[in-house]
Each structure stands twice: as structure tokens, then as C-alpha cells.
Structure 1
């Protein structure tokens, strides 16, 4: 039987997806309502046991059919990128290469997460029937309720949900505090909470166990991160166990309306995304002080504790500490201590490799710090 463990990393894409992939496989990236791996679970009884698939590929009906039709010892490609192959082992040679005519949905660069998230929210949210009378009695308003999924365990008070332009998903044990505004398509996943007056704009996924406030637009928050207070985050990807201080804000569009450039870990240089909008990419375990300001297209590595009332640099290496411009290296023992504190605060288990992972990230980014 095919297993999701046969979703494989690609070395080049994994480097391009840093800092997120320092601590997770490609298949553990979040898109829409779940990780990529979770989306492939339903195909474990469909695919042949000798099939291997790129971990950043999202399943689709056409792609599944192409994979099912793959002959033994052959590989499926999109241009120069392998997508899937059938072989006796991951290291086997491929006798035949088959090229796709249409680009499949897969993550190659960080901005691809946002593009695919927009479509995934529309495709994955399946509305349910909920008690509208009870919903209204708690001071809530729902526009186009037939386009919403609201888990019965959620607690929603004095909020407005507008699903007229896209579906809205409110997961298990979610709490929406008074004055929360949500425009679909959007999802608030299990055990998350919005603060008073939170504004969640379209194409946003708030991951498991997050607490958010202020204004968030077209962004993905990976699990267990906080942005509890006022401030704007738009067209951004926020890693896990991050905490954004009050009034932390990013720009998501250049003043000259030119396309946004992002730091690329594969080249140690800026790369043109071709997108007009991109705010910030934060790795895991990033904390910011109050009034921190990020410019358009800023990348911040893992394990950073940073602040600054002027715009921060557009690339901040992992393990950076302090108030800009007086950044210093973050001691690895202090970084581990801080990460452990946030993991405990979110009632999660500490990874066994936490300390070794921090040491490895320190070594990997030696050139970036110089």
C-alpha cells in the first residue's frame, strides 16, 4: 500500500523554501485547511506501492490520473522538475521520462504557498448546517450562511462573517471575540482565537492554536503563532511559534508598484517573485517587539528575537537578537530556552532534536551572517 511517507523532499526546493523547511519536510507545509501530507492521506489506497511523489505537490484529479498511468521505472516531469515516479526504491534510475503539458499545483518558492492557499480555501471548505437562530442570539451576523462551515464546538460572539465572496471555515474549539470581522474565503483552524475587533480579510488561513488580532489579509499563519494586537500583516507567511508584538506591521506592496523581490537561500541573493504583493516570510520561533516595522518582501530566519522602530533589513539571518540597527548573534542556548518557553505556552511537546536543529541552522547560515 502506498503511504504518505513516500512524499519525498527535493533538495533544491527545500533550500528555496527556507527558513520554513529547516524544521519540516515539504509535505508538512500548510496550504488551505491542512498540510500537504494530510491532503494525500485519502489516496493511500489508490496509488501503487512503488509510487514516489514530490512532497510539495498538491493532489488534483488530473495529476492523480497521470500518476496512475505511469509505467514502471518511469518519471513524470513538469519542465525540468520531477513530480512523481514509479520505481523499486527512491534511488532507482528512470528508464522513461514523461512530461506534463500543464503545470501541476506544487510549491517551488515561498510565494507559491499564498497562490495555492487562495485556491485551496475555495476548494476545501465544505459548508455545513448550523443553528442560525442561536448564532444570531449571540449578536452575530452571517452574510451568505450557506457558504460557511462552523463547527458546533466553536464560540462566536458579536462577530460578522461575510461569505458573499468566498467560503468561511471556523474549526473545532475556535473562539471569535466580540467585534471580529471575517471576509471569505478564509479559515480559522482548530483551537485558535481572535482578539477583540480582529479583521480577517480574504485568502487567509489562521493555523492551529493561534491567537490573532489587528488586520490580517491574504496570509498563512502556521500553527501556534500569535499576533494578538493591532498592526497589519498582509500577503505573508508566518512560521510556527512566532509572537508578533503590538503594532508589528508590514508593507506588502512597493511604492513604485514593481514586483517584489525575496531573499533566496539557494543563491544567497534577492530573487524577483514576479508578484506585486508580498509582505514578510518569517521562520519558526520569531518574536518581535512593539512597533516593529517590516518592509515589503522581508525574510526572517528561525529563532530571532528582534525589534526596531525604523524599517528592518529585508533579510535577517536566523539566530539574530536585538533592536535594529544594533543586532547581535542570538546565543544558541538562549534561543533554545526561548523556543522551549513558547512550546510550553502552547502546550506542545518539545522536539527531541531542538538543540541539534538550532546548532545546524547556525552552521548553515554562517555565510549569511557574514
Structure 2
């Protein structure tokens, strides 16, 4: 069995900031699982990572004399997985657009090497790649379906025992052991619903599939979930949420609307926080690009908030259509916020922004993480410091 190494495509990694400041590309969640979890399950193997140097201590790379490098932005399916696993030594599998999808080699290989010295095989079939931040929510519904089918093909659901919960098309609902559902409506007519281990769906929640909630996740009382939404493990969500992905350990526990958006880990949205996901003129939404430091056309009419890890918003914060918030940002104040809040910023559109003191940011992050019983050690602090130093130029502009 080869060592499976999920590599960061340098171009794609930049396009997936701010989420890839704090994780490899394959650490992104889309559907029920992260991309790394999908490949580990498909390959029946542990995986390692080829990523930025400052991330490599937390996400190490393991190689041997049989290495299978797989593009970390690639979403596996059964046919693609078979082709990748059967790739001969010394071969590179590339997409029709020329992107390296996989490399099989006895020696070490780096993404910057491209296909030099390798025999090239072109993959002609359709595939799914998470190339841009908006692909995370854009592909989420299809990935929930794919992950769900993989789960139900080998496992059986726990029953719904609450007599006050009503389920439409119960054969499209999968419930893990320990999950609690109380007086809620589950509508799986248009897509599957996955309820993770020990998740809690509180009274009056209304869910439309496709939907997934991870282990220990919570939907607060009266939550309205619209299709193509994922609530990651240990996250709490309330209010109205539509076509969003919450990576994990984040809170949007109160009323307010979140649509066509992505939240990283350890984020918090204050009560009555809302975002716009549609321009008044129904034009294409533009997002801040870390690659060009300018606005990039998403080609989408609907696109909301992209918020990096450890960031927070005060009560009644209003986010504009197509807003990027970096890592460890505190956003608050009246009016619509700026379309880009650089990492380690503190303030808002009305008050202006200043730099978030690094020592204070680390102290808050440690407290946030420790309250969930998760370790925050020197490795995590070093990652935050690297992001802080790498983004100083953005805050000075």
C-alpha cells in the first residue's frame, strides 16, 4: 500500500485563502467530510500532507519508497479513486486543463516540480475540484449527496425515536448513535439529511436537505436550515442558514441570516449578525483576491461571507455581499462592513481598523479552544504567529 500524500497546489492554495492560512487545502470541509477524510476513507488508509513549511509540524508529510501524491483540492469519486490508486510508477495524472491530479513515484516529489520527468496521463472524465473559496459552498450540496451515499452503502442508521419529530422521506435520513432530535421537521424530499454522532437538534428546528451536521453539533431552538448546508463538528447554529459550510467548532447560535457563506473553525457571530448574499442590481458578486490584491469576479449572483479561523463579529454586525474576513479578526460597529478585513484586524467600517495585538489574539484563541476541551499548544501558536507575520503588509495598506 503506498503512502498517500495530499499536496497543496500552490495556485489553488492562494485562491483558497484565508482558510488555507491555518490548514492544508485537504483540510477544507465540503459535504459531510473534509477532503482529507474523503480520501482516507476511499483509500482505506491514513493520509499525510505536503503543505506550507509553517503548517508541516501540525500536518506532517510521511513518505516511503512507494508514494502516491494526490491533489488536496480534488474531491474523490469511485471511478477517479480507482484510476488514482492504479496509477503506475513514474506517472502523473493530469486534468484536461493541465492540473496535476496525482503522481505515483518511488522517490520524493514536490508540487513545484510539476510533471517534469514523469509520463503524463490525462483524465478525461468530469471531476470536482475546490479551486476557489466560493466552490466550498457551491459544491457542498453535491458533496453531501456523495458522502451520504458512501456512508449508507456500508452502514445502517439509528432510528428517529422522538414522537414529535416529523420526517419527510425518512429513507433519505441517516442518524448516528447518540444523536438527539426533539420536535423538529426533517424534509429530505430534495436531498439527504445526515445527523452526526451526539448531535443535538433542538425543539422547533426545520431542516431541508441536503444537510449535514457533524459530531456534537447543535441546532438551536427554532433554527431554519435551507438546502446545501453543512454544520461541522462541535458547532452551534441558530437563526436562518442557507447553502453554507461551517468547518467546525464555530458558533452562530442566535437569530440572524447567513447565506452562501463559509465559516472556518473557532469563529463566533454575535446575535443578530446578518449577511447580504445578493446585490441589489443582481450583478455578479466580486470577492477580494489574495492572488491579485484586487476584486475577483466570482461569476455568481449569490455569494456571502468567507470568514477565516478564530474570527468574531459583534452583535448586529452587517456583512456586505462578497465579504472576506481573514484569520483572528474582530469585526464590530454600525453599517455594512468592508468587503475585506485583513487577518489580525480589530474594528469596523465606521470606526476604522487597527492591528489586533498578537499576544491578546493568542490569549483569546487559547481561551476559546480550551473551553471546548481541545489543546492549543506551541504548534498552534506558531501557526498563528506565521500568519500574523505573513499578513502584516495587508494590514498596512
Secondary structure of the residue aligned to 1:252 is coil
Aligned length: 366
Secondary structure of the residue aligned to 1:255 is coil
Cα deviation, 1:254-292, whole Å, max 9, x if unaligned, reads 111111111111111111111121101000011110110
Secondary structure of the residue aligned to 2:327 is coil
Q: Which residue of 2 aligns with 1:81?
A: 99
1:55-134 to 2 correspondences below 5 Å: 55-78=72-95, 79-87=97-105, 88-91=107-110, 93-125=116-148, 126=151, 128-132=156-160, 134=161
Greater shift, 353-362 or 208-217, is seen at: 353-362
Secondary structure of the residue aligned to 1:32 is coil
Q: Structure 1 residues 95, 156: CA separation in 2 closer, same or farther (over 3 Å shift)?
A: closer
Q: Which residue of 2 aligns with 1:296?
A: 321
Find the partner of 1:346 among 351, 355, 372. Answer: 372
Greater shift, 116-125 or 283-292, is seen at: 116-125
Separation of aligned partners in 2, 1:129 and 1:172:
11
Q: 1:8 deviation in Å?
A: 1.0
1:160-175 to 2 correspondences below 5 Å: 160-175=185-200
Separation of aligned partners in 1, 2:216 and 2:343:
28
Separation of aligned partners in 2, 1:130 and 1:73:
46
Separation of aligned partners in 2, 1:35 and 1:3:
19
Separation of aligned partners in 1, 2:179 and 2:289:
40
Q: Structure 1 residues 257, 181: CA separation in 2 closer, same or farther (over 3 Å shift)?
A: same
Find the partner of 1:222 among 216, 241, 247. Answer: 247
Q: 1:177 deviation in Å?
A: 1.2
Gaps in structure 1 of 5+ consecutive residues: none
In the alignment, is residue 321 of structure 1 matched against residue 340 of structure 2?
Answer: no
Q: Which residue of 2 aligns with 1:31?
A: 30
Contact 1:28–1:36 at 8 Å: present in 2 too?
yes
Cα deviation, 1:277-313, whole Å, max 9, x if unaligned, reads 1101000011110110001110000001111220001
In the alignment, is residue 182 of structure 1 matched against residue 207 of structure 2?
Answer: yes
Q: Structure 1 residues 303, 102: CA separation in 2 closer, same or farther (over 3 Å shift)?
A: same
Q: CA-atom RMSD, angstroms? A: 1.9
Q: 1:315 deviation in Å?
A: 0.6
Secondary structure of the residue aligned to 2:128 is coil
Find the partner of 1:232 among 236, 240, 257. Answer: 257
Cα deviation, 1:80-102, whole Å, max 9, x if unaligned, reads 32111122221474332222324
What TM-score, normalized by structure 1, do the two folds share? 0.94
Cα deviation, 1:53-98, whole Å, max 9, x if unaligned, reads 1111111123223324534322122213211112222147433222
Separation of aligned partners in 1, 2:177 and 2:136:
29
Greater shift, 59-68 or 14-23, is seen at: 59-68
Contact 1:14–1:21 at 8 Å: present in 2 too?
yes
Q: Structure 1 residues 42, 289: CA separation in 2 closer, same or farther (over 3 Å shift)?
A: closer
Gaps in structure 2 of 5+ consecutive residues: 48-64
Contact 1:336–1:354 at 8 Å: present in 2 too?
no
Separation of aligned partners in 2, 1:95 and 1:156:
53
Contact 2:7–2:71 at 8 Å: present in 1 too?
yes
Q: Which residue of 2 aligns with 1:362?
A: 388
Find the partner of 1:51 among 58, 63, 68. Answer: 68
Secondary structure of the residue aligned to 1:239 is strand
Q: Structure 1 residues 111, 94: CA separation in 2 closer, same or farther (over 3 Å shift)?
A: farther
Separation of aligned partners in 1, 2:101 and 2:389:
30
Q: 1:19 deviation in Å?
A: 0.9
Separation of aligned partners in 1, 2:228 and 2:377:
31
Greater shift, 236-245 or 32-41, is seen at: 32-41
Contact 1:263–1:299 at 8 Å: present in 2 too?
yes
Q: Which residue of 1 aligns with 2:2?
A: 2
Q: 1:11 deviation in Å?
A: 1.8
